[in-house]
Amino acid sequence: MDLKNTKIAIIGGGNIGGAIVKGLLRSGEVPASNITITRRNISRITEFSDLGVKTMEDNNLAVSTSDIIILAVLPSQLMGIVDSLKDSIKKEKHIVVSVVTAFNLQEIGQRLEAGVPVVRVMPNTAAAVGESMTCLCANPEHQESLEKVKSVFDKIGSTLIIAENMMSSATILGACGIAFFMRYIRAASQGGIQVGFHAADAQLIAAQTARGATSLLLESGNHPEREIDKVTTPMGCTIAGLNEMEHNGLSSALIKGIVLSYNELNKLK
């Protein structure tokens, strides 16, 4: 899809809306003048207007001048906004994209003019640096729109088309996952400080090592345990530390946390 001729509106320029805009600008594939971002308090998004992005409070005006409408507001705000935009969104012109947790395609689609393509997307805040993991889904009749939206999110990281019933799981593993990995890196940094590094050096070593581990898996497709075997010398310090972490429940804590987050998300419905 030629993004040079596609106009994108982000309704709700908060954490994830802002991250998407930063990623799109960084990609160099979408001119700043093709992007509109809204929020009620536009004084909070002057960093984008300074870069040539259109910023405004008027969601209907943003919709009327755009092709792809990305809804990035809180779940409690979503339906009010969909209702307020209903008359401006036209099936011949627009694709509606929701990054909002907990509302499904049918719930959004039934509030709009019949036939408006709706795509659900679950990115994460690494979109800001072009490293989002974004899962997407749409109903079968909107596959063309799904591909168009995928081509936008391909510019800001990796994408995976999934079934709609997997969107909650994608939210936990991908979007919430940023927080889980951050906490691991923070803990590793604290350990690094205890064994002698200043905080900044400890964080650099922990974060770059996490990036290296990630790249090893993504580039080789290997199972993590295969890479662990290469690091764990028999009777060595790595296996001693790793086993101590496991005795204290490292893997179990992560799995239980992911499952608990998933159950909490499903209670939102």
> Footprint of ligand NAP on this chain (CB under 6 A)?
11-17, 38-41, 44, 59, 72-75, 77, 81, 99-101, 122-125, 175
Chain residue at closest Cβ approach to ligand NAP: 14
Residue 197: CB minimum distance to ligand NAP, A:
29
Q: To the nearest whole angstrom, how small is the minimum distance from the Cβ of residue 224 to ligand NAP?
A: 24
β-bridge pairing 54-56 and 68-71: unpaired
Strand partners, 68: 8, 95
The Cα 201–Cα 193 span in angstroms is 9
Closer CB to ligand NAP, 112 or 202, in the complex: 112
Residues in a beta bridge with 118: 96
Rounded to a whole number of angstroms, the minimum distance from the CB of residue 139 to ligand NAP is 20
Pick the closer one to ligand NAP by CB: 175 or 206.
Answer: 175
**Alpha helices, H only, the chain:** 15-27, 46-49, 59-64, 75-85, 105-109, 143-153, 167-170, 177-194, 199-220, 224-229, 237-247, 250-267
Question: Which CB atom, from 167 or from 206, has the smaller least distance to ligand NAP?
Answer: 167
Q: Which is nearer to ligand NAP, 155 or 192 (CB)?
A: 155
Residue 230 CB, nearest approach to ligand NAP (Å): 33
The CB-of-100 to ligand NAP minimum distance in angstroms stands at 4
C-beta separation of 21 from 48 below 8 A: yes
- Least distance to ligand NAP, CB of residue 176, Å: 8
* Residue placing its CB nearer to ligand NAP in the complex, 51 or 74: 74
**Three-state SS at 232:** coil
**Side chain identity at 199, as an amino acid letter?**
A
Strand partners, 136: 121, 161
Closer by beta carbon to ligand NAP, 16 or else 146 = 16
**Which amino acid belongs to residue 100?**
V
